[in-house]
Amino acid sequence: MRIGLRIILALTLSSFVSPAHAAVPKPLEALSFLLGEWQGEGSGQPGTGGGACTFASGLQDRVIIRTSFAEYPGSAGEPAARHDDLMIIYARDSGDVRADYYDSEGHIIRYIVTATAGREAVFLSEVAGEAPRFRLTYTLGPDGLMSGRFDVAPPGKPDSFSQYLAWTIKNKKVISRS
């Protein structure tokens, strides 16, 4: 009896642990141009700096995970600074794409994501009362360079975006071929 119970329990648990591999969510396919290791430079209100990011497929292609850092040299009596962040991009059952962003400064931003023609992705935070609204845009150029832009809209003016940061990144595979 104990052996039979153990077999039934093992079979039941294995059905939860190893389900059939589901197809890659179609909404994430439009973001595949982001995948890879990217390096670049940018500027904005924190100053001019450099950094890198990686967009990688995760959880059996069910999510895209972005890790990123930016380093800003010290200037005018200000010490050098480093910013690190993590973003998880995923498709919901309804088919819409979302992203959750976390950074080393304690910010958390929830985004709705749209992609157009496999060359541009726009991450737009929802309007949340008296909080600022954020828009993050990646655009892949014909030369293989990707431009990025982070815009902020003030509280009460959710569509009045102003540029906070802008950067250009190049895929490390392309860099190593140069």
**Does the structure show a pLDDT above 50 at 142?**
yes
Reading the block at residue 118, the tokens are 């496999």
Instruction: Write out pLDDT tens, residues 86-106.
Output: 999 999 988 899 999 999 999
Q: Stretch 39-43: mean pLDDT, rounded? A: 75
Higher-pLDDT residue of 116 and 53 is: 53
DSSP state of 107: -
Distance CA 97, CA 63 (A): 10
Domains of the chain: 24-177 (2.40.128.20)
Residue 45: per-residue pLDDT: 60
Q: In which band, very low, low, confident or very high, does the pLDDT at 26 lie, cut at 50, 70 and 90?
A: confident
**Does the structure show a pLDDT above 80 at 147?**
yes
Q: Stretch 72-90: mean pLDDT, rounded? A: 90
Reading the block at residue 155, the tokens are 């509280």
Q: With contact defined as beta carbons under 8 Å apart, do 124 and 110 qualify?
A: no
Q: Which conformational region is residue 77 in: left (phi greater than 0), alpha (psi within -120 to 50 degrees), or beta? A: left
| Helices then strands, each counted (H, E), the chain | 3, 10
Q: In which band, very low, low, confident or very high, does the pLDDT at 132 lie, cut at 50, 70 and 90?
A: very high
